[in-house]
Amino acid sequence: MVTGNSVAAFYVTDKGSLLAHGIKGLYPDLTIMKFTKGAVRKAWSEEKVLIFIMAAGIVVRTVSPLLKDKKSDPAVIVLDEKGRYAISLVSGHLGGANEKAEEIAHFLGGKAIITTASDVNGVPAIDLFARAHALSIDDWKLLPRIGTRFINKGRLNVYADIEMRLPAGFVKVSDPASADILITNRRSLGPRRGLYLRPRNIVVGIGCNRGTSAEEIGNAVRKAFDEHNLSFSSIRALATIDRKADEGGVKMFARKSSLSILSFCPEELNGVAGISESEAAFRATGAKAVAEPAALLGARAERLLVEKQKIGNVTVAAAEIRGHAVRGARREEQDNLTPTGRIYVVGTGPGNIEHITPYAQRVIRESDVIVGYSTYVKLIRKMIIGKEVFETGMTQEIDRCRKAVELALGGKSVAVISGGDPGIYAMAGLVFQLLKEEGREPRLPPVEVIPGISALNACAAKLGAPLMHDFASISLSDRLTPWKVIEKRIDAAATADFVIVLYNPKSKGRAGHINKVRKIILRHRLPNTPVGIVKGAMREDEKIIITDLNKMLDYDIDMRTTVIVGNSRTFLWNDRMITPRGYEKKFKT
C-alpha cells in the first residue's frame, strides 16, 4: 500500500519533458523521469501519483501487469504533450486521480477527463461515503456490483444500527434482509450478501498475564468477537491498565492491528461501578478489575457489549462507543463527504495531567496521531503510549502544523498539542493561518480548538489573586514581534495601570529585555509594587517568588517563568499577591 504523497512524471519526448518541468510549478517536489518500463515498475510501489505524458495506449500496456486493486494502486494520469487533456486513468477515487487530473488541467488551462460513473452521475460513491464516515469496507469485491446497482436503480437500501444521516439515494430500511448496505458492528445480520460497512465503535478492554504474546491476545479477542457475532474491523481501540499499556504483547497486537491503546490508572478503573471484581487482579495491580472497567471507560459507556471472557492468559471485555460521530464530526461536514480527518488543537495546561481538562484528555486519547513540541509531548507521555507521535523542536511550529494538516487530509484525527492554552502564544492561530493560505476549501479538515489552563491562570493561582482586576498579557519574545512594539505595549499597559503578565520573559539571546521592561514600568509605578515570579507552575520543580519591582532582578527568571507585575493597588498578605477589585467598601458595611 502506498502511503507517501509523492508525485512522479514520465515523459517520452523533449516536449513531454518540457511540460513535466512546467508541472513542477504545481508540484515542487515532482520527480521527473524518462519513460522506461523498469522505471515505471519501481515508481509503482513508491509513488502515490504517476503522471504519464504520452499516448494512453503506451500507459495502458505498461501499467496493466502492475495493477492490483483500487485500495493500493497509485493514481495514474495521462497527459498529451500539449497539456490539453488530463485523463484520470486509474484509482480515480481513493487514489485521488480524478482530483489530481482536475488540479493539473486547471493548472495547465486544459480539460480533465473523468469517467467514473458516480462522478458523472452525481451520486455519492460508496467508497468515498465509507471513508468520509470512517467506515471500513468488509468486502471490496462487492463494491462494483453494489455501485452499479446504485447507478441503475438510483437508490440503495441501507440498514444502519448506529445513528447517522445518509446521503440522498440511500434509503434507510429496518430489516437487514432487504438491505444492500449494512452499517453495523455485528459480524452478520443474516444470509443476504449485502455490503457490510463497519463503524469503528468498539473499545476492547484487555487484561493479561505478564509476557503474554501478541498472537495469544489477538486470538483471544477474535474468539470473543466470533462468539458474540462482532466484527473485528469495528474495533476502535484497546483499553487497559496503565502498566499493561507498556507490555510487549499488548503493544505489538495494537500496532499490528493499527489500534491505539487507551490506558487507565488503578484509581480510574476502581471508580467504575457494577463490575465483577477479582481478588487476584487487585493483589497484582491495585485494580479490582481491568478488562471490563477499561472497556467502559474507553468507550465512555455504561453497559458492556461483551462481559469479561477469560481465554487462556487473556481477559477480554468490550463496550460500544455510543453515537457514531465519535470523532465529533458535525452533520453538515459529514454530508459534504469531507474526510473524517480532523485537527484538534489541544491545550495541555501548565504541566501535569491533572490540570488538563477531561475533554482534552479524551481527545488526546482518541486521536490517531499526536503532533507537538517535544517538551509538551513528554509531559503527557503517560497518556499516549502506543500512539503515533510527531515531535519537533520549539521553533518548528510551521512544520508541525503542515504535518497536522497533511495527516488530517489523509483521514487521521490529529491532536496538535500546546502547553497552556493553545490559543495563547501557541498553535491554534498558526493552524488557521496555514489553512487560510492553503485555501483548498471545501476540502479542508475541520478544526476544533480545545482550551487549556494558560500560564497566566496557573501562575496567578499560585500567587494568590493578582488578576482580579484588568490585566494585560505581553510576550517579551521578539522572535515574531519587533522589540519596539513590545516596549510600546509595556508602556501603554503600565500607563493605564493594568496588572501586567509577562510571558516568555527571558531567553539566552535576550537577557537584558526584562530589565528594559522593568525600567519602563518603573516610570509609572512605585518600586515596591508587588511582582510575582512563577517558574514551572504545576510541574515538579515549581518555584514561586513574591517580590517587588525594585528587587525582581535578584531572582532567576527564564523561559519557563511567567512574571506578574501588580497594579498600583496590588498588595501582599500572608505571602499572597492580591489585586483588589474595588469591593473593600462592601466589606466594611
Least CB distance from residue 139 to ligand SAH, whole Å? 47
Residue type, 295: A
Give the interface with ligand SAH as residue ranges (CB under 6 A).
350-351, 418-421, 424-426, 454-455, 458-459, 503-505, 534, 536-539, 559-562
What is the C-alpha separation between 549 and 528, in angstroms, rounded?
A: 6
Relative to beta strand 31-34, strand 7-11 is parallel
**Closer by beta carbon to ligand SAH, 105 or else 417:** 417
Residue closer to ligand SAH by CB (options 52, 503) is 503
CB of 397 to ligand SAH, least distance (A): 11
Nearest distance from C-beta of residue 551 to ligand SAH, angstroms: 20
Closer residue to ligand SAH in complex, CB, 105/545: 545
Pick 327 or 560: Cβ nearer ligand SAH: 560
How far apart, in whole angstroms, are the C-alpha atoms of residue 312 and residue 147?
43
* Partners of residue 450 on adjacent β-strands: 346
What are the cell numbers at 309?
471472557
Query: Which residues, in sequence order, are bridge partners of residue 34?
Result: 11
| Sequence letter at residue 552 | M
Residue owning grid cell 460521530: 325
Question: CA distances (Å), 72 to each of 3, 7, 95, 139, 140, in order?
Answer: 9, 15, 8, 15, 12
Least gap, CB of 345 to ligand SAH (angstroms)? 11
Closest CA to 294 of 179, 208, 419: 208
Of 197 and 456, the one with the shorter C-beta distance to ligand SAH is 456
**CB of residue 537 to ligand SAH, shortest distance in Å:** 4
- Enter the C-alpha cell of residue 379: 509531559
- The nearer residue to ligand SAH, 236 or 355, going by C-beta atoms, is 355
Residue 499 Cβ vs ligand SAH, minimum distance, rounded to whole Å: 16
Q: Which amino acid is at 413?
A: S
Cell digits of residue 383? 497518556
The 10 Å Cβ neighbour count of residue 461 is 17
Q: Using CA atoms, how far apart are residues 192 and 412, in angstroms rounded to an integer?
A: 32
Q: Say how far apart CA 116 and CA 135 lie, in whole Å.
A: 21
The DSSP symbol for 26 reads T
Q: Smallest distance, Å, CB 573 to ligand SAH?
A: 22
Nearer to ligand SAH, 200 or 506 (CB): 506
Q: How far is the CB of 564 from ligand SAH (least distance, A)?
A: 10
CB of 384 to ligand SAH, least distance (A): 19
| Helix 513-522 vs helix 483-495: crossing angle, to nearest 10 | 30
- Nearest-CB residue to ligand SAH? 420
- Grid cell of 84 as nine digits: 490539453
Closer CB to ligand SAH, 185 or 561, in the complex: 561
Three-class DSSP category at 48 = coil
Of the pair 334, 504, the CB lying nearest ligand SAH is at 504
Q: How far does the chain reach from its first CA to its final CA, in angstroms?
A: 76
Q: Bridge-partner residues for 14, per DSSP? A: none
To ligand SAH, the closest distance from the beta carbon of 419 in angstroms equals: 5
Separation CA 401–CA 552 (nearest Å): 37
Total Cβ atoms within 10 A of residue 445: 25
β pairing state of 561-565 and 499-503: antiparallel
CB of 476 to ligand SAH, least distance (A): 9
**Shortest Å, Cβ 475 to ligand SAH:** 7
Q: Smallest distance, Å, CB 452 to ligand SAH? A: 7
Least separation in angstroms between CB 421 and ligand SAH: 4
Q: What are phi and psi of 534, to 5 degrees?
A: -120, 125
Alpha-carbon distances of 105 from 6, 57, 80, 281, rounded to whole Å: 18, 20, 11, 63
* Residue (240 or 504) nearer to ligand SAH, CB: 504
Give the strand pairing for 571-573 and 202-208: unpaired
C-beta closer to ligand SAH: residue 7 or 502:
502
Cβ-based neighbours of 208, under 8 Å, separated by 6 or more: 216, 217, 244, 247, 249, 250, 313, 314, 315
C-beta of 444: minimal distance to ligand SAH in Å?
Answer: 24
Q: What is the three-class DSSP state of 518?
A: helix
In the complex with ligand SAH, the residue whose CB is nearer, 188 or 375, is 375
Residues 6+ positions from 446 with CB-CB distance below 8 Å:
329, 330, 333, 338, 342, 343
Handedness of CA 273, 278, 282, 285 (dihedral sign): negative
To the nearest 10 degrees (0 to 180), the angle between helices 214-227 and 248-256 is 60
Closer by beta carbon to ligand SAH, 140 or else 359: 359
Nearer to ligand SAH, 112 or 563 (CB): 563
CB closer to ligand SAH out of 35 and 425: 425
Q: How far are the Cα atoms of 36, 182, 394, 399 from residue 423, in angstroms, in the given order?
A: 51, 42, 16, 18
